[in-house]
Structure 1
Amino acid sequence: MMQPVYLTIGIVSVALGVIGIVVPLLPTVPFMILAAFCFAKANPVWEKRLLDHPRFGPHIVAWRERGAISKRGKIMALVALAASAVIGLVALDSWHAYMPLAVALISGTWIATRPS
């Protein structure tokens, strides 16, 4: 019953991940991790293809086994979060200016504490 939903989410995640390869601030690997999760429930053959992929497979396996994020991935994520916080502080007014900073601090702390 849920299989078509998982399949759809997996396909959309792969599409967004592929777009993320060329769009600088759109992450690729998190979408591939989500796709692998969805394909595990809907299409194990497609899950295996993602796990065997030379570029994405090691990241997916590292996340599944240890909750690990690569050092490069952490740096890129933290730089993007810092940039969005600075842009928010400069471009927004009132208390809204602090929302991107709060999100960056909370999510950045979580990302920084994941194993590499």
Structure 2
Amino acid sequence: MMRVLWLCLGCLMLALGVIGAFLPVMPTTIFLILAVACFSRSSPRLEKWLLESPTYGPALRAWRDQGAVSRKGKTYACLGMAVGYVLFWWGAHPSWRLAAAVAIFFVASAAYVVTRPSPREPGPGGEPPGG
């Protein structure tokens, strides 16, 4: 039963990740990271498929193996949050308290992403140094 729930949750995260690939203000990679985590508990075949994806596999493996985010990933994440905040401000016309709370959340999220290590270069056997 739990395996089915993890599989359904993984499929939902994968669907949200695919949607995020096409919508500029919705994240992709975080949903794919969550999908990999769910599939690791339910479907090794789908987990392997995501980890071997030519587009997202390297970022997913870097996060899983090293807790790392590439410089490009950090840049896109921060830009996405900034654009998301501007759209929120422009579209929702929030009170100053709500605007401040959302700004604090985005700043904290950006700080977390920016402070993650960058991926290490693979060693001679294809493994990260020390890994």
Q: TM-score scaled to structure 2, two decimals? A: 0.79
Provide the rounded CA distance (Å) in 2 between the counterparts of 1:89 and 1:17: 24
Q: Secondary structure at the match of 1:42?
A: coil
| Structure 1 residues 84 and 32: CA distance shift in structure 2, 3 A | closer
Q: Match for residue 96 of structure 1?
A: 98
- Give ranges in structure 1 of 5+ residues lacking alignment: none
Q: Secondary structure at the match of 1:76?
A: helix
Given that 2:39 and 2:47 are in contact with CA atoms closer than 8 Å, whether structure 1 keeps it comes out as yes
Residues 1-116 of structure 1: matches in 2 within 5 Å?
A: 1-86=1-86, 91-116=93-118
Larger relative helix fraction: 1
Q: TM-score scaled to structure 1, two decimals? A: 0.89
Deviation by residue 1:18-56 (Cα, 9 ceiling, x = unmatched): 111111011111111111111111011111111111111
Deviation at 1:69, TM superposition (A): 1.2
Aligned residues: 116
Provide the rounded CA distance (Å) in 2 between the counterparts of 1:57 and 1:35: 12
- Give ranges in structure 2 of 5+ residues lacking alignment: 119-131
AA matched with 2:20: G
